[in-house]
Structure 1
Amino acid sequence: MGVMLQPSLRSEIEKNLRRKGFTISKLSELTGINSGTLSTILNGNPPRPMTVCQLDQLAIAFDHEPGWLYELYPEECVTEDKFSRPRVIPYLTRCAEIGRQDCINETVSKLLENPKNIRILFSVAEQLFENGKMKESIPFYEFVIDNEKDNYSNQFVMSQYRLFRATEGINSEEKFKAVIRFESYRRRLAENHQLDALLHLAKICYTLRRWEDVEKYADELRELATIVYEDELRRRKNNKPSELQKTERPLILYYGQGYLLKAVALKNMGKYEESKHYTNGYADLSWFELLDQDGEAEVDKLRLWALANSYTLSMCMGNTEVLPDYLEFLSDHPNEVLPGLVTITESANEFGFSIESVLEQFSEDIKRFGNDLGTVNKIHHLHFRYQLAVYLFKKGKYSEGLDETLRCLILTKASKDFDYFKSCVGMFWVHLQHASDEQKRIFQSVVDERSEKA
């Protein structure tokens, strides 16, 4: 019996070349690959290694799906038992993009036979992350974390950070796990990445309503931004080269957000006077040097938010005499209407004043709230609907209150906010006697669906 030869990359390409009846010149024309290059790839002695991009071009010419012959491509990546970075990194990146997990597993297993190859996996992860392929980058960062023995190495710490950033969009429970998993590594990052990390830690904790954690990270953010700022000013004063590292946003944003997030945390903990102090801290940052055009735009935004939050604090403290001015401010700044109505409705519930005219004034805005897909506005929208339901029940408008409770309940499905879900279920049961058959049906449907997914 004859020995069955294993197919090779080139034998399969040559088979397709014969099947199609293509010459090298025709194949060059179809693929855009130079005919001389093709000749040395197929017939050279030794043959010239091909890139994964060239393999993709050949797949198109031969009418095959993306990923054709990928399981055979690793032979192009190894020379004298060493992996070629210029070939294996694009190959693994492309495998991740098109979902060839089988090829990834096989190649990674071979790579990890040599610990030095961990840096290859880190490079793949970074390339995917930088290209916006966050989900695809996750397994590669996990490979680095699981196999890197030095927990202080740059690639280990950056993998922890990237993994944290890649998991921002998931549900509340997973977000909190991501914070816990990453936070102990935050100070091992370079200052530029640390600024971004602290900002994102604070913002995630904001979405989770973990106000003490928001306060902690806001303090660290403000302190680090101040150190970076003052160090850069000293260097400029002494005519030394700048060491300001590239951050995702202008330096003023981190400084101002340190104040803003601290003020927000204090406000939500009921520490209104302290919150006022920190609100004043970002109300006018025109004195801040190192401002470019983007930085000046941030100063303007922070000034606007400080004014909005000063009205918020007044309302939270029961100073309802500012309401007319606040309403005028909201009319002039449509983007502030949603958070503004959260504050006004919450204050009305706490201090017992009527807001029917306010709800009427902004009725068209309220209809559009669900169209905004931003994370923060989703939170505001959920909070507003809940407070509105409470307000309507207090006014004896049970049918409308139940409608708002159901709307709020449905919103918790998208946000995966289990705390609000439980509160809405409880509120519906309290007013169950006023519910119509249709309201009961919708309620049961939403609860059943949530239970199935739990």
Structure 2
Amino acid sequence: MRVVNRSLRWEIEDQMKLHGYNINQLAELSGINPGNLSMALNGISRSMTINQLDALGKVFGKVPGWLYELYTEECISEERLSRPRLVPYLVRCAEVERNDCIDAVVSKILDNPKNVKVIFAAAEKLFHKGKHKESERFYELVVENVKDSFSEMLAISHYRLFTVTQGTDAEKNWKAVIRFDPFRNRLTESYRLDALLQLAKVCYSLKKWGEVEEYAGELVELSTVLSGDEEIAPKRHPVYYYGMGLLFKGAVMERQGVYDRAKKYVLNYMNLEWPEPLDECGQKELEQLKIWGKANLYTLEVLTGNKDIINEYADYLAGLNRLNDVVAGLNAIITSANTYDFNVDHVLARFSDSIARFGLFNHDPVLSERHLRYRCHKAVYDFRNGRIREGVDETLHCLSLANDMKMYEDSIQCVSLFESYREQVTAQQLKMYRSVMGVREEVYLE
């Protein structure tokens, strides 16, 4: 039996013999330059890229990730490390789930603290390709291995981790806020504006009003400071972040029932004057702020009991044709209906198709919280109008959402609401309630 020390080139040459390909045939089938392929296989040049290996694997009918465990010889030697080959290699390993190869590389290169830059580069490549979950592991490695707490690379890694770990799990989101918060002011200004906005959004979904106001205030201040600084390039025009800071301040006032103050913030961002002429991008942001402002003025009018404006508001929401605007608007309308005792069945019927799609908000923390709130208000509305069965169904829907999102205060409210009508629920609804609460059915058997 022939004993061979496996190597990348030996395996490729073995496949060539098996398939009967020569260099020129293989080059044509793989799309690799014949000269480059010949030099790579003959060891004249360590020039094989991971994309070329993938192309060869495809020709030979191999699964993605073929020979990746041997590719490290192209990237790492005792003398040096080849970053141009190693970064794309780590990216591809993450994409095809060759975690064993990542483990092997990490154990070899992180003995030298400088090599954490390679890990960070791979993380950034994955992040910008939209492979957020795959990037998470690499950012965690950066966080674990960078010792300088003021390192920009460390701050960006914390920012990315905060971004990629956001979801509808309230506990997880709050832990992410706590972890990232100390690093927000260590980011460069181009990142910091968006980071503050994301922090405000997550805290809004968690009903952390003090934190929302703090981050919104920082947004307003920082966007003003950065006005006119052409060297700073945030994701969007500074006027957007300024307006969003005011919007969140107003939203907090609205949720706390301080409607007069909320209205002042709305009028402020609807009619704001920027200290310099706005370009086309800035003008578009200003127009969007006006659209949101108009919707929020309707919201505040409705919440203060102006039921005569309901149909006009519904027309406006229908014209916007945006699901997130509809759920926000219906929350205001149905809350007002419950508070001031009037009927909005015709509005709910009008938006029935939209309401059926609220379940699509299962990945965004703010929109998921709005959906949860809608179900709670709708349950109260149904009960108030004598529709007990429908109210219980909405309560169970709300309870299920609250449990999934780990919004425990909302869960307790739903349980209290259900128990208030327990004597009138159906057997099926009681079974559903026990299921949502995780209660074993046999406990209730006589």
Normalising by structure 1, we get a TM-score of 0.89
C-alpha distance in structure 2 between counterparts of 1:299 and 1:423, whole Å? 39
Name the structure 2 match of 1:30: 29
- Letter paired with 2:430: K
1:279 and 2:266 matched: yes
Name the structure 1 match of 2:92: 94
Q: Classify the secondary structure of the residue corresponding to 1:281.
A: helix
8 Å CA contact retained: 2:389, 2:425:
yes
Q: How many residues align?
A: 438
Distance 1:61 1:368, change over 3 A: closer
C-alpha distance in structure 1 between counterparts of 2:439 and 2:14, whole Å? 53
Which deviates further from its counterpart, 139-148 or 313-322?
A: 313-322
Return 5+ residue gaps in structure 1 as ranges.
Answer: 233-241
Map 1:91-130; keep pairs closer than 5 Å: 91-130=89-128
Name the structure 2 match of 1:345: 334
8 Å CA contact retained: 2:168, 2:362:
no
Name the structure 2 match of 1:16: 15
* C-alpha RMSD of matched pairs (Å): 2.5
Q: Classify the secondary structure of the residue corresponding to 1:49.
A: coil
8 Å CA contact retained: 1:192, 1:247:
yes
Map 1:303-322; keep pairs closer than 5 Å: 303-320=290-307, 322=309
- Residue 298 of structure 1: CA displacement? 2.0
- Residue 10 of structure 1: CA displacement? 1.3
- Residue 357 of structure 1: CA displacement? 4.2
Map 1:285-304; keep pairs closer than 5 Å: 285=272, 289-304=276-291
Name the structure 1 match of 2:388: 398
Distance 1:332 1:98, change over 3 A: closer
Q: Deviations over 1:111-142 (max 9, x none)?
A: 11111111111111111111111111111111
C-alpha distance in structure 2 between counterparts of 1:251 and 1:337, whole Å? 27
Q: Classify the secondary structure of the residue corresponding to 1:54.
A: helix
Distance 1:139 1:377, change over 3 A: closer
8 Å CA contact retained: 1:402, 1:435:
yes
Which deviates further from its counterpart, 295-304 or 130-139?
A: 295-304
- Residue 406 of structure 1: CA displacement? 2.2
Distance 1:183 1:74, change over 3 A: same
Distance 1:425 1:6, change over 3 A: farther
Moved over 6 A (4+): none
C-alpha distance in structure 1 between counterparts of 2:5 and 2:318, whole Å? 73
Higher relative contact order (CA 8 A, sep 6+): 2
- Residue 158 of structure 1: CA displacement? 1.0
- Letter paired with 1:175: N
Return 5+ residue gaps in structure 2 as ranges.
Answer: 442-446
Name the structure 1 match of 2:444: none
Q: Deviations over 1:328-375 (max 9, x none)?
A: 544544433321221121122223333344434544543444456673
Task: Give the share of equivalent positions with the same residue, in percent.
Answer: 44
C-alpha distance in structure 2 between counterparts of 1:353 and 1:23, whole Å? 82
- Residue 110 of structure 1: CA displacement? 0.7
C-alpha distance in structure 2 between counterparts of 1:364 and 1:402, whole Å? 21
Name the structure 2 match of 1:53: 51
Distance 1:116 1:352, change over 3 A: same
- Residue 409 of structure 1: CA displacement? 2.9
- Letter paired with 2:389: S
Map 1:158-197; keep pairs closer than 5 Å: 158-169=156-167, 171-197=169-195
Normalising by structure 2, we get a TM-score of 0.91
- Residue 324 of structure 1: CA displacement? 5.2
- Residue 210 of structure 1: CA displacement? 1.2
- Residue 21 of structure 1: CA displacement? 1.8
Which deviates further from its counterpart, 366-375 or 124-133?
A: 366-375
1:246 and 2:244 matched: no
1:140 and 2:138 matched: yes
C-alpha distance in structure 1 between counterparts of 2:430 and 2:268, whole Å? 49
